[in-house]
């Protein structure tokens, strides 16, 4: 069963990566996910300014969702950022079209997107009254 979202992201690739100029842009579109055994596979289509397109797939282990290490609604964004890292570290397109999100990446995402707790206001007020 494949679920489609259709969110599109415009990604600018820096000059020198794959021979692209500063004005070239690609569109990376999330097209959906599919449950495949022990993983959920998220599919993306990459369309360049020349009309070429490529497909990329990023998986996250089902256990990460069950253990609350990742929220279902965050998974496409996590996978999108995983692909961006691949493009940033390579010249041109990545040599593979399939990637997995690692535990450290899930932890980094969760840390970056978890609101920081604020000091307890009522405890602060009680200190002032003493």
> Quick count: other Cβ atoms within 10 Å of Cβ 8?
14
DSSP string, 29-40: EEEEEEEETTEE
User: Which DSSP letter does residue 24 get?
Assistant: -
Dist. CA 35–CA 87, nearest whole Å: 25
Q: Give pLDDT, residue 89.
A: 77
Structure tokens, 90 = 């390579």
Report the alpha-carbon distance of residue 109 to residue 111 in Å, rounded.
Answer: 5
Contacts of 108 (CB under 8 A, 6+ apart): none
Average pLDDT in the chain: 78
Please give the angle made by the CA atoms of 30, 84 and 113, to the nearest 5 degrees.
Answer: 85
**What pLDDT, on the 0 to 100 scale, is given for residue 17?**
46
Q: What is the mean pLDDT of residues 58-66?
A: 96
Q: Which residue has the higher pLDDT, 56 or 19?
A: 56
> Do residues 81 and 87 lie in contact, with contact meaning Cβ atoms separated by under 8 Å?
no
107: pLDDT strictly greater than 50: yes
Band of pLDDT at residue 64, cut at 50, 70 and 90: very high
């Amino acid at each position: 069963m494949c679920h489609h979202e259709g969110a599109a992201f415009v990604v600018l690739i820096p000059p020198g990566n794959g021979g692209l100029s500063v004005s070239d842009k690609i569109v990376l579109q999330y097209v959906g996910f599919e449950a495949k055994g022990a993983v959920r596979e998220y599919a993306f289509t990459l369309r360049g300014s020349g009309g070429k397109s490529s497909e990329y797939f990023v998986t996250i282990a089902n256990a990460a969702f069950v253990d609350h290490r990742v929220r279902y609604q965050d998974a496409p964004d996590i996978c999108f950022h995983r692909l961006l890292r691949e493009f940033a570290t390579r010249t041109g397109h990545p040599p593979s079209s399939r990637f997995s999100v690692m535990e450290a990446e899930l932890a980094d995402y969760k840390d970056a997107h978890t609101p920081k707790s604020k000091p307890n206001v009522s405890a602060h007020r009680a200190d002032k009254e003493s």
